[in-house]
Structure 1
Amino acid sequence: MQDSDNNTSISFELFPPKTEKGMDKLKTTVARLDELKPEYFSVTYGAGGSTQERTFATVDWLRKQGIDTAPHLSCVGADREEIAEILEHYRHQGIRRIVALRGDLPSGSGLGGMGELNYANELVSFIRERFGDHFHIEVAAYPEFHPQAENARADLDNFARKVHSGANGAITQYFYNPDAYWRFLDDCNARDIDVPIIPGIMPITNYHSLARFSDACGAEIPRWIRKRLEAWGDDLDTIRDFGEEVVSQLCRNLLDGGAPGLHFYTMNQSGPVVNICNNLGLRASAT
């Protein structure tokens, strides 16, 4: 969506549903979110391609609705020809944007699950080698650093390799401390990395699931937020109201500071995202 006042670009991440009921829910979610005129929807891809067919089905459905779609593609555990076939499938569909990731190893696979391409920069290079500039490639960025990175410098080196391999832009892991994002941009500028780096935004709706996921992916929940959420326990209404306020203010600070857009991790829910966008004045145009 391009907001008439500040030209803000927004996009939404979905995950492929496991059931027919889940797909019906997703269709309702997409219909509501699409009213906000996002630039695109992205669709996740499970560890080692474990959701491949469901990802294909979700992408197919979105494209049939005329919705611009950016499938995620991970390289770990796959060989070059497998990846080329997937990309050719997407090119045939008219897909022009890919989110290129290393991906996580499937549980229990060990190092033997690694494929011919082991890192996201290798995947980006491969896409450019085989498909030229057909795909706009987004990669992942970690303002608070990847949990598996040796140190902060190594993580920035990894990000630089992805960009210099041909990425057009990046989407960050979610964060709640805007200073982490601004400092990350400063570090990137010092390394002559000048692609757009879009903040990833995670609405707060459930403390326990957010804490568990944040601990796993290395995203920090600031103490002042965590302690309030802990105190409310299972009072989901209070948590959602507080989360909407906190995340709306975070988004406003990011946009006022010059962030090029917002990418929402929707968790296949429309309500929290729509409320945040409404608070920001990012509403669908009247028709």
Structure 2
Amino acid sequence: MDLAIEASGLRKSYGRLEVLTGVDLQVPAGSVFCLLGPNGAGKTTTVRILATLTRPDAGTARVAGHDVVRERHRVRAAISLTGQYAAVDELQTGAENLRMMARLSGLSRRDARRRAAELLERFDLTAAADRHAGKYSGGMRRRLDLAAGLAGRARVMFLDEPTTGLDLASRQAMWDVVDGLVGSGTTVFLTTQHLEEADRLAARIAVVDHGRVVAEGTPAELKRRFGDQRLDLDLADRPAFDAAAAHLGSRVVQRDDARLTLGVTTDGSAAHVRSVLDEIDPAGTAVRRFSLHSATLDDVFLSLTSRKELAGV
């Protein structure tokens, strides 16, 4: 398998704070790989190491075939990095932004103009090419930011929460752009807080928590591994809700205090559902109703990461 990114045993600490405690990754070339995790789990530090912005304390990593420490200049020539907020010059037009980035990537004036025109068309910005970027909508600025990252024909693109602050329509347009990048052979390494985004885009997902990878696989594999079905229980009153939550403990993967609803993973069989109901409601008075749902990445995420950290997600 041709790997665009491979990392082994990455560790990073800041003082006494251990941010990464041994991260291993393998990202196939020409695919979308998503890193999921709660705030503070180590996602951004991992991206910074892979993009040569931070040195690891231990471990090794190669991006586009080059070591991120010993061959930093070669890694940087092969990648682009787009952060959570669009970094474009709002005083320049869209075309000027792209020509500038192409020139900084080493292209001649003629080739920079040609590359800018290609990217404007690819990202549906041709009509706004001569408009100052400061007058672009949020979605247009994000598209321009992505286009600027490709001005040097990057082989690997790091997208750190690229749809932050975008409305649903703009997010869906961005997803189409990412699909197009992969279709042209670019490898996309994505971090996101939107689980449906990971489900929609990623060929493989790694879930990171407390500085280490706690699970990895395709979206379908992760859902199967951590429960194909979710059993939602609507409790009759607050005492019944509190008692059931305390009894089920870590098996609870979703909790809605306002609606007095708890969600637990199940294999979907009648025997298992009956067993759970008998376990928490032997008298048949605590559970008002129950329902079965297909497992989602939300369920996987909640099963794998700490409840305290998830409160801010």
Normalised to the residue count of structure 2, the TM-score between the two structures is: 0.32
TM-score normalised according to structure 1 size:
0.34
Between Structure 1 and Structure 2, the one with more strand by share is: 2
Q: Which has the larger radius of gyration?
A: 2
Structure (1 or 2) with the greater helix fraction: 1
